[in-house]
Each structure stands twice: as C-alpha cells, then as structure tokens.
Structure 1
C-alpha cells in the first residue's frame, strides 16, 4: 500500500482520484480551505510545511490551480499572471519540493487541460499554462532522481462540469470524472514517465 497525497483532493477531479486510489492505497488530501491538510501551491514555503506535516508520502497528485478566461484584447498582465502564478508555477512548485521528499520510486502527477491542443476563444492564458505544464513534465522527467516519475493528465470537459462550462466547449464530448481518475491511477501505479495522458 502506497501513501498518495492529492492536492485539490476535494474538487471534482481530486475527489474522483481520491476515491479511485483510495480503494488500494492510503490517500491524504490537501487544499486551500478543505481536505486533511491546508496548502497554497503558489507559496513554496507552504508546500514545504505541508510535506513536513504529512510525513512519508510515496506519490503526489495535483488537481488544482487557478486560470484566467477572457478576451485577449481586454486581458491585462495581472490577469494573465493568474494562471502563470497559480496553475503553472503552483504545480511546478509541487514538483520542485516533492523531488526531495517523496519515497524512492515515487511519482508526481500534474494536471493540464484539453485546450492545450484545442485552443478556445478567451483561453490564451489557459492554453499557455496547460502547454507549459506538459512541457515542464517532459523536461523534468529526464532529471528526476531516485527512480521518481512525473506525468500529466490532460482531461477534457467533465460531465459533472458540462452545464457550467458548456459555452466554452461547444462540440466537445464530456468525460466522466471516474474515467479521468483512471488516468491518474495509471500515472501513480504505472511505470512510464514524462508522458501526458489525454482523456478526451
């Protein structure tokens, strides 16, 4: 049995991942305002404190991070930085800390999004951030020590969120959070590294 830390573990994806992996492993959850532990992924000191508090962890999954959606012609630098500082650098921060504290042979799983390869109107920030996450994982995979692995899950529009985001995702086939969770299981329990698993 492994110990898996799911950051964002009470969100739609995170809760599905916790349920999937919890059938076979010990799962801990963390979030800004909910879960077993509190953390702000934008703050690397907060992440260091989190891993000090959790004790030994074999694997970490990140299923959170803020983004900005809005027309490019109206976008400000501050708005664009929302995704850079939160979803991109927040997940990078997790990996930077986790590489030193995870058990040998452990794994890091990050989350991007379907628009990384299917740009949508109003999503210049999200397209940039999600591609950055996937690029970071490819680059980090060849340098991680001690048999550590890093992968990314790229989910499409979730069935559970379809009504809320339908205006952005016309023509996309929604996928269930349970199906998406199985891709995270593959990242944690599989053998590959530097991969992006698309669930579309």
Structure 2
C-alpha cells in the first residue's frame, strides 16, 4: 500500500513510519519534510495531497492542542486549537477523498487523559470533537473508504511518566487502522478493542 504520514518527523509519526516501512510505501509529510504540509492551512494540505497523488491511506499524527489553564484560555488559543487539530484533521478527511483509492483509509489523532488534568480543557474539547466526528462521518464515506481516530495518552519518549505508552506501541494502533477493516472507531493504544 502507499501511505502518507502527515507529521512523519515527530515522535509518533516517526514510529508510524518505522512500523509501516517494511510492508508499505510510506510518503513522509511534515512542515519541513520531503512533502511540506501544515495541517492547519487548507491550501498547504491541498498542495501536499496533489503532490503525493493517489494513495491507499492518509494518516495524521501532526496536530496538537496545548495544555492551558482555563483562566488563560483566550479566543485566539481556542481558535488555534480548533483550526489546527479539530478542523484541520476533519477537513483532511474530505480533502483526502479524491486522492484515496477505493477501500482506502484515513487515520486521525485525538488523545486521551486518564483523569482530569489541569489545563486540559481545550484538548478535551478538541479530542472529543474528533472522536464524535469520526463516528458520525464513517458511515457516509464513499467507495468503502474508512476513517478511524487513534487516541494516545502520554507517550513515553516525550515525557517521563509512569503511565506512558512507548511510541512503537502507539504506532501499532495506527498500523491496525491501515491494515484492518474497522471504521468509525476510536483506538486507544494499550487497550484491547479500542475505546
């Protein structure tokens, strides 16, 4: 399969590329990668997809929402998180359709917090929005195209936390989305059967 990984130079993206490279043709895309793309910029996404051409799967591991105490949330911070992580990824699904082969897939990235965390309000809003979007849009996609979302918690390589998951294990969830047949699912790495 030919798979585009957006965010290929990041911690999770690099692990996804490593997990896929033995069995698939991987096209690396990132802000400063071989295929330049900014998930929050619709024109950039369109250019990248046109450059790449026809593919079997599009994966996005590029988006994030900052941890910001609720008292410090401004309209600008809300707008940036919504534009980049929520709207950027949701519209990636529709923008990818003309470039996906029949039976292809799109895999997005949300996130999960094991328990309430100070400053996680905007992240929770965006993550839950993505999960709901994927559930709702999956039955509507044409030509057998599938969509799923992976919701990693803390990734071991980015944080010294006792409840973290190794990036390689997180990457396996993305591989499952590309190589499997599920659609409309929220996959939580480390949990059997997703969430």
**Scaled by the length of structure 2, what TM-score is found?**
0.93
Is 2:54–2:100's contact at 8 Å kept on the other side of the alignment?
yes
Distance 2:158 2:175 in 1: 21
Larger displacement relative to structure 2 (69-78 or 56-65):
69-78
Within 5 Å, which residues of 2 pair with 1:63-82?
Answer: 63-82=61-80
Q: Does 1:197 align with 2:187?
A: yes
1:132 to 107, 120, 129: 129
Within 5 Å, which residues of 2 pair with 1:1-200?
Answer: 2-33=1-32, 35-115=33-113, 118-163=115-160, 166=161, 173-200=163-190
Distance 2:101 2:150 in 1: 21
Gaps of 5+ in 1: 167-171
- Relative distance call for 1:57 and 1:158 in structure 2 (3 A) is same
Is 1:66–1:82's contact at 8 Å kept on the other side of the alignment?
no
Q: Quote the offset at 1:66 in angstroms.
A: 3.4
Larger displacement relative to structure 2 (135-144 or 73-82):
73-82
Q: Quote the offset at 1:50 in angstroms.
A: 1.0
**Scaled by the length of structure 1, what TM-score is found?**
0.91
**Can you list the C-alpha shifts for 1:76-130, whole angstroms capped at 9, x where unaligned?**
1111122101111111121110122201100000011112x63311111100011
Is 2:53–2:99's contact at 8 Å kept on the other side of the alignment?
no
**Can you list the C-alpha shifts for 1:17-42, whole angstroms capped at 9, x where unaligned?**
00101110000011112x22001111
Is 1:8–1:63's contact at 8 Å kept on the other side of the alignment?
yes
Match of 2:193 in 1: none
Distance 2:182 2:128 in 1: 19
